[in-house]
Structure 1
């Protein structure tokens, strides 16, 4: 009589001790699963097996779509609140740095904007020609020249911000409910977290 080991139905099967049993599938445990199989499987919260590569790909696709939508939305928002009569965005951001940080060197401004010092020199020169910034010596380092806002530069920023804030304030008050405003605040916190990783 043939033994169980010679049966063609079982000869090519993996040993039972190395195959995940039903209890493993129910509990989500990978104990005893061969390393090659373990690396290809993961369990969901209900104990069912799903493919890890497929799940990871879905997560990457979802994050890519979210990043695309966020970039498009922020770009549209920037265009909507941009004042046509004001300076270009590259110059406006420099004015904003000088307003928040005080006088800065060209190299420090370049580092803040992540551009080359030569490119920042061109931007500063354009602002200087427009009378929006001026230069003064560094108080302790004679080799460094600081860029600072002029009175015209301060007034220009105030006028631009007033127009933008009036428009945004009106939209928030007239179009958003209290709950939507709270959601906007939570979203703004997350956007700041993302932006802060690049500064």
Structure 2
């Protein structure tokens, strides 16, 4: 009989039903609240940014100019999704399309100076929000939370890219302050 991820689960989790229920509930609440506020930061309306836009701008900032296919691959999403999501960013001047330096026929996406400024503004506001929400946390608690959230996101990403696979090994923690 084939095994599923549920069947291959460590048996110690069987007794953790209440904890797992609480965890899934807290994740659901977090997802809803994060989407409601878009984690816009302290001045939410002014500094709010669509999740897809933030992630695309952030990736272009971290990895530099790239084509749609490379951007899609680095984000683990479909090229058509990137094309659809980047269109309004180009229309609003946050991203610009340029010719590939080695192949003039290919198009490369890159942050415009306006996009970089807007991203910096949103990051700063979100950083202030994170400071406000965790003002009474010890620095070590912030680091542990960031490490565990990074590990959780990595596990979700791994599961999404290989749905039939067994649960992944723990991912190394991201550098504190590094965003996804």
Question: Is TM > 0.5 for Structure 1 vs Structure 2?
Answer: yes
**Which residue does 1:84 correspond to in 2?**
45
d(CA) in 2 for partners of 1:70 and 1:99?
28
1:128 aligns with 2:90: yes
Which residues of 2 match residues 51-70 of structure 1 at below 5 A? 57-59=14-16, 62-70=19-27
Cα offsets for 1:26-57 (capped at 9, x unmatched): xxxxxxxxxxxxxxxxxxxxxxxxxxxx9653
The separation in 1 between residues aligned to 2:52 and 2:129, in whole angstroms, is 22
Tell me how far 1:150 sits from its aligned partner.
0.4
Q: Does 1:105 align with 2:63?
A: no
1:119 is aligned to 81
Aligned-partner SS, 1:84: helix
Give the aligned CA root-mean-square deviation in angstroms: 2.8
Give 5+ residue unaligned stretches, structure 1.
Answer: 1-53
Residue 96 (structure 1) aligned with residue 62 (structure 2): no
Give the structure-2-normalised TM-score: 0.65
Give the 3-state SS of the residue equivalent to 2:23 in structure 1: helix
Distance (Å, rounded) in 2 between the aligned partners of 1:68 and 1:119: 29
Instruction: Report the counterpart of residue 5 of structure 2 in structure 1.
Output: none
2:134 is aligned, of 168, 172, 192, to 172
2: CA distance, partners of 1:90 / 1:194: 19
Matches of 2:85 and 2:13, distance apart in 1 = 43
TM norm structure 1:
0.60
1:186 matched to which residue of 2?
A: 144
Per-residue deviation, 1:131: 0.5
SS of the residue aligned with 1:108?
Answer: helix
Q: 1:68 to 1:107 in 2, by over 3 A?
A: farther
For structure 2, the 5+ residue unaligned runs are 1-10, 159-180
Runs of 4+ that moved beyond 6 A: none
**Larger Rg belongs to:** 1
Shift of 1:70: 2.6
Distance of 1:114 and 1:70 partners within structure 2: 21
> Quick check: 132-141 or 65-74, which moved more?
65-74
CA distance in 1, matches of 2:12, 2:86: 49
> Do the aligned partners of residues 62 and 177 (structure 1) sit closer, same or farther apart at CA in structure 2, a change above 3 Å counting?
closer
Tell me the CA shift for residue 137 of structure 1.
1.9
